[in-house]
Structure 1
Amino acid sequence: MADHIIPSCPFCPFSDQDATFVEQHIEYCHPEGGAPPSHTYDSPAFETTSTSPSPSPFQVDEDSTEKYVECPHGCGETITTAELATHLDLHVAEGIALDDCGEVQSSPFNTELSSEPDLPSDLDDTRDLHVSQKGSKRGADRDFTRSNTSKPAQGRSRSPVGKLGPDGAKRLGRSELGPHAHEKKMPSWLKKMLEKGGRTSKQTRITPDGRLARHTSVENETENLIPVIAKLCEQDSSSQRVFLCSPKVRHVCKMPREGGFCGYRNIQMLVSYITKSKSLGHEHFPDGVPSILELQDLIERAWDLGFNSTGRTETGGIKGTRKFIGTPEAQALFMSLDIPCDASSLSEASNMRAHMALYQDVASYFRSNCSLDDEKKKVSMTDLPPIYFQHQGHSMTIIGFEIRDNNTANLLVFDPMFKTSPAMSRLIGTSAKSDNPARLLKAYRRETRYLQKYKMFELLKLPTPQPAPN
């Protein structure tokens, strides 16, 4: 019997079980029928540095290089050329309309580029993980302050390369802070847009008890999305076992033309969980999720108090700028508000790839909250907080872990770079029936093909809910 042929792109290694998705990939990534768009932008309008390869997973060298281009899809993001193809593929998934979905493919949805199995034989065995609880940052030498205390803590100074600040920290460049690394202040139109926030709208909905209630929604925030993802995973035949975080977290995405504020958007997602669940520290957010400008003030205040304070030297200050932030800034913010958080890094070891260590860590996190009854379910929805997740150049919020056919796995994420698709929006509050659940879930899955490109990951976890006393 002939093997099933997986549709693939004739111009690059991309392939997918969904032939329509491959066609859309070709349309977005190879509009001229050849090289991807990243090879065609030579205009001075696109900021560049030299294109030599980065020698470390989180590059710190001033001579290191990243070539940035604006997304040709028109979303306003400025991204590296290396990430452009993946970015455009996710735009396709982002725009899926409900009527686009056909029948579910019977074979596994993931197409792996690596020959190694995605899952170790025992996901709960983390003894062999090469996990550094202190060696992580934007670059490879930055320490986390992991003690859950309100006492100010100093990060370890980095290697004495280049100009050092009075605290022994080195000023970072574009490879860590993005294309606006040396910006003094963001454009006035952008600041006004961030001050105004996303557009709000009000709808009247029927509550479960039959009453009418007014509901206010924000254009770049989506509530009640995790229950939809849970129902789609139940329907997807390629999904074998799924763990999800608390449904109280919102998907917060960027607004049109805002650019790369992903770190802030992920902090907002964690705060949305804190406020909705009334968990430790919720009293610090009486007006709900803080804006990006308010988060910048909170981070600068955390530095003033001594939490990961080398960040001020490394960034040159972030208030009113578009500089990228990372896990240390998220950690400093929460700890300055007496909200305990656990920051860690996962890197490659001789016996394990970084993405495998990541799978083990995340799987263990979710399984630790499951009862014996939960283990019998295909989809387990927990009350756990989501996880702040960082790799080189981008951050997301982990909302779950999924085991797939043929012993493969992937993370389930809310990516702040992409908005909720029309299809997913229409399924909220419904039974979420779909002829092709795998296609709708594509925007939320980050599989080995994506993750294996990176040699280091960073995670930040909030305290888990404590069971009520008997």
Structure 2
Amino acid sequence: MDSSSCPFCHLTVPSSELEWHANSHFEVEDEQLAKDLEFAQQLAFAPSSPPSMNRQTISNLQFARFDGQCSIKESISCLVALQTRTTFCEIKGGVMALLRECLELEPRNTTTILCGYTDHIQSIRSEDSGWGCGWRNIQMLSSHLLMQRKETREVLFGGAGFVPDIPSLQRWLEIAWEKGFDAVGSDHFANKIFGLKRWIGTTECAALFRSFGLRARIVDFGPKELEPYYISLPGSSLGEEVKRMHNGGKRKEIQGNYDNSGNKFSRKSKGHQVLMDWIWNYFHDNNFTQTGNHRVFISDKTPLYFQHDGHSRTIVGIQVKNQHNGMQQHNLLILDPGHRTADLERSLKEKRGWQKFIKRGVHTLRKPQYQLCYIDPGIASGEEVELFKTVDSVFLEL
């Protein structure tokens, strides 16, 4: 596949998509400029305001207009108008371009596959520290979808073209529940999550994206004895948070050598290497383009929302190293919302110490259960959307 480098973010993209990809950079800037102008006009003509309120109070007042008082269609229209773009530390050129440059300097016995453009969005101590990692991973996954998939950009978040902040995402999840997506999860949260400091997991991630017609899928990894508790962990511990998933959902167990995503899967793997092999096959099992370096490739797959008990991160690629003894060593390449973006950027630019932020070997996988959420291409419609309202998963034994 012919590929070219984007002159703005320096990512390698198929030549046929270069013009659309490059133009998307200007679309984001134009949208922000228009919003800034609109906001300036509002300020200019607004009457004298009372004492300033904090951001959460303002959000509460804005969204109170349609909370439980209007139809789903009206709620969506109101949310599209009121949702707020998330603020984050943007890395010039993009974190994925910097990461690719570092990986191209790796030894010759390594092969790396990365996903395309993805922003790193960190948790903020004063806003979501300790509970917001799931929302931040949804934001990182959204940044990829908006930049890499044109059809998704047109439907996600009402076609806003930007990544919303956490309060806006919470409202979108409530609307997904109101539409009938993940009824079990909705009951667990009593149909309300806006303004609450609640952990979420892959189920909530899938329900939110599915409500826009996106083909979000979940894969569960765990010991055989935990198989009945399949699907995601919204909380920081097992027990009641997991048990709620045993009621009303569906689970599919792998049969043969393929899972439901079409990925080849080897039954010879054992333990947490099962997870590593699945992720390698996920990124490897589709079209990808080669960068200027023959050891680094760019996949057209989405990043993976990576959940385990107590935390979640975003997997943006995987690296395999061929060792002298003939064995292969895998490293996940992750973006952690718990890391400061400034620290990550500095280490990547200096090409020193970045591995401690990004690389995770199989020896770091010490939890009994893991979940992944990814998004297949295309937009669902009709009967497929109705089927998506029941959030199911594929189970693989560790």
Q: TM-score, normalised by structure 1?
A: 0.48
Task: Find the partner of 1:263 among 131, 134, 139.
Answer: 134
* 1:236 shift after superposition: 2.7
Task: Find the partner of 1:249 among 108, 118, 133.
Answer: 118
RMSD: 3.3
Map 1:205-220; keep pairs closer than 5 Å. 218-220=87-89
SS in structure 2 at match of 1:463: strand
Counterpart of 1:330? 205
Counterpart of 2:67? none
Name the CA distance, whole Å, in 1 between partners of 2:194 and 2:133: 16
Name the CA distance, whole Å, in 2 between partners of 1:362 and 1:445: 14
1:189–1:393 Cα change, 3 Å: farther
Name the CA distance, whole Å, in 1 between partners of 2:146 and 2:121: 14
Name the CA distance, whole Å, in 2 between partners of 1:217 and 1:225: 17
Q: What whole-Å deviation, never above 9, does each CA across 1:20-73 have from its counterpart, x for those lacking one? A: xxxxxxxxxxxxxxxxxxxxxxxxxxxxxxxxxxxxxxxxxxxxxxxxxxxxxx
Task: Find the partner of 1:448 among 342, 350, 362.
Answer: 362
Whichever structure has more helix as a proportion of its residues is 2
Name the CA distance, whole Å, in 1 between partners of 2:189 and 2:271: 27
* 1:352 shift after superposition: 4.8
Residue 276 of structure 2 contacts residue 362 of structure 2 at CA under 8 Å; is this kept in 1?
A: no
Name the CA distance, whole Å, in 2 between partners of 1:365 and 1:462: 11
Residue 288 of structure 2 contacts residue 298 of structure 2 at CA under 8 Å; is this kept in 1?
A: no
Q: What whole-Å deviation, never above 9, does each CA across 1:353-399 have from its counterpart, x for those lacking one? A: 4521211111011111356978x921112232211111111111110
Counterpart of 1:394? 311
Counterpart of 1:279? 150
Q: What whole-Å deviation, never above 9, does each CA across 1:241-289 have from its counterpart, x for those lacking one? A: 111001x211111123331201111111111112112433312331510
Map 1:301-312; keep pairs closer than 5 Å. 301-312=175-186
Name the CA distance, whole Å, in 1 between partners of 2:97 and 2:378: 19
1:318 is the counterpart of 2:193: yes
Counterpart of 2:333? 412
Q: Unaligned stretches of 5+ in structure 1? A: 1-187, 196-215
SS in structure 1 at match of 2:195: coil
1:433–1:379 Cα change, 3 Å: farther
Counterpart of 1:233? 103
Name the CA distance, whole Å, in 1 between partners of 2:163 and 2:288: 32
Name the CA distance, whole Å, in 1 between partners of 2:289 and 2:151: 27
- One-letter identity of the residue aligned with 2:296: V
Counterpart of 2:41? none
Map 1:105-120; keep pairs closer than 5 Å. none
Name the CA distance, whole Å, in 2 between partners of 1:324 and 1:455: 19
Name the CA distance, whole Å, in 2 between partners of 1:266 and 1:254: 10
Name the CA distance, whole Å, in 2 between partners of 1:249 and 1:351: 33
SS in structure 2 at match of 1:253: coil
Name the CA distance, whole Å, in 2 between partners of 1:265 and 1:380: 26
Name the CA distance, whole Å, in 2 between partners of 1:300 and 1:465: 23
Residue 266 of structure 1 contacts residue 397 of structure 1 at CA under 8 Å; is this kept in 2?
A: yes
Name the CA distance, whole Å, in 2 between partners of 1:395 and 1:250: 16
1:440–1:372 Cα change, 3 Å: closer
Counterpart of 1:208? none
- One-letter identity of the residue aligned with 1:409: H
Identity of aligned residues (%): 27
Residue 133 of structure 2 contacts residue 311 of structure 2 at CA under 8 Å; is this kept in 1?
A: yes
Name the CA distance, whole Å, in 1 between partners of 2:164 and 2:339: 20
Q: Unaligned stretches of 5+ in structure 2? A: 1-52, 61-84, 225-266, 380-398
Name the CA distance, whole Å, in 2 between partners of 1:244 and 1:338: 25
Size of the aligned set, in residue pairs, is: 250
Counterpart of 1:213? none
* 1:232 shift after superposition: 0.9
1:409–1:297 Cα change, 3 Å: same
Name the CA distance, whole Å, in 1 between partners of 2:167 and 2:336: 20
Residue 146 of structure 2 contacts residue 161 of structure 2 at CA under 8 Å; is this kept in 1?
A: no
Task: Find the partner of 1:297 among 171, 181, 205.
Answer: 171
SS in structure 2 at match of 1:231: helix
- One-letter identity of the residue aligned with 2:145: I
